[in-house]
């Protein structure tokens, strides 16, 4: 469209302000304010029923908010916002496939709906199938209902690519897949992101998200409880040294001055991303801080998530 607002890296693809959705007495999404920048690969993290799918439905226009606002590609109101949805592709829960059609028939139907001209002759459909690792499906006469789950997911991603969207939103794309299928989907998402497509992936498989997400959004009971970059999260997980000292405030100050990532949690001091406890001990001793206790813990992404939704952020 002539009046589309073109974005560069760092511009906001999505902005929500105080977004809420109520179904009767159930408040499914509560006051969510979020900004997604062009080029990000977001991991949307939450338990089942946390509000992830509701947020996705609002962002893709499937549902409408009870209150609050949504901006897509800088458009917020009326026809402009509706037109912006043409730049968004989504796969919510399961791929929306035509079960009794072949893969090529599925993609051809999607091309017609998106106004793609001559998708067979131009090689457009073949390109999409090659991208998702299914070149043989172009001439495969089987219906997609006879495909494995992993193949169906990749066909679903190929379908989502029709129209060349700038934003893709995928709800649990690896759900039910075996390790090889999960790896294939992960590699596909990284390839898409390298092409400049902004991606939001909802998943409860935190260890898998940690292999590709650039930013995490934690959601619980309909509320956005934390947004954190992968780099910052990496500092929070892994090995943690938990120390108790004669003066925790002074200890934190000297550790921060020595470039250690530390924070006071209740009556202890947590020091992150440490290989050897001796490094911490030496700094404290050199600055006259007495060490009263020390222990090591391994903090996984799952541990961090449990702490966050429990209101005990590290």
**Which pLDDT value is given to residue 3?**
52
Q: What is the pTM of this model?
A: 0.78
pLDDT of residue 311: 60
Low-confidence ranges of the chain (pLDDT < 70): 1-7, 9, 93, 275, 299, 311-314
**CATH 3.30.70.270 placement within the chain:** 237-309
Q: Which fold has domain 237-309?
A: Alpha-Beta Plaits (3.30.70)
- What local confidence, expressed as pLDDT, does residue 103 receive? 97
pLDDT of residue 121: 94
Q: Which two tokens stand for residue 158?
A: 């190929």
- The reported pLDDT for the residue numbered 1 is 44
CATH 3.40.50.300 domain span(s) along the chain: 12-230
Q: What is the pLDDT of residue 218?
A: 92
Q: Cα-flanking dihedrals φ and ψ of residue 189, to 5°?
A: -65, -40
Return d(Cα 62, Cα 87) in angstroms, integer: 15
Domain 12-230, what architecture? 3-Layer(aba) Sandwich (3.40)
Residue 2: per-residue pLDDT: 42
């Amino acid at each position: 469209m002539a009046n589309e607002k073109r974005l560069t890296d760092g511009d906001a693809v999505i902005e929500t302000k105080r977004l809420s959705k109520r179904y009767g007495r159930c408040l499914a999404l509560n006051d969510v304010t979020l900004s997604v920048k062009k080029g990000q690969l977001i991991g949307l993290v939450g338990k089942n029923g946390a509000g992830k799918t509701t947020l996705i439905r609002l962002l893709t226009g499937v549902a409408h908010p009870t209150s609050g606002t949504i901006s897509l590609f800088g458009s917020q109101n009326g026809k402009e916002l509706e037109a912006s949805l043409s730049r968004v592709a989504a796969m919510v829960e399961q791929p929306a496939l035509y079960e009794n059609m072949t893969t090529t028939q599925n993609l051809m139907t999607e091309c017609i709906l998106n106004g793609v001209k001559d998708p067979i002759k131009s090689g457009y459909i073949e390109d999409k199938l090659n991208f998702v690792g299914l070149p043989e499906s172009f001439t495969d006469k089987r219906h997609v209902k006879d495909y494995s789950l992993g193949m169906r997911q990749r066909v679903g991603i190929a379908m989502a690519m029709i129209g060349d969207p700038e934003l893709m939103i995928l709800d649990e794309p690896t759900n039910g897949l075996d390790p090889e299928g999960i790896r294939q989907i992960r590699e596909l998402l990284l390839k898409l992101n390298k092409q400049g497509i902004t991606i939001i992936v909802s998943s409860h498989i935190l260890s898998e998200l940690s292999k590709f997400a650039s930013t995490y959004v934690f959601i619980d009971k309909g509320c956005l409880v934390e947004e954190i970059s992968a780099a910052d999260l990496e500092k929070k997980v892994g090995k943690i040294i938990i120390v108790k000292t004669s003066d925790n405030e002074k200890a934190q100050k000297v550790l921060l001055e020595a470039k250690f990532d530390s924070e006071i949690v209740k009556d202890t001091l947590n020091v992150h991303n440490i290989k050897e406890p001796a490094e911490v001990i030496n700094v404290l001793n050199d600055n006259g801080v007495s060490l009263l206790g020390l222990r090591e813990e391994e903090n996984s992404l799952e541990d961090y998530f449990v702490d966050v939704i429990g209101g005990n952020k590290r």
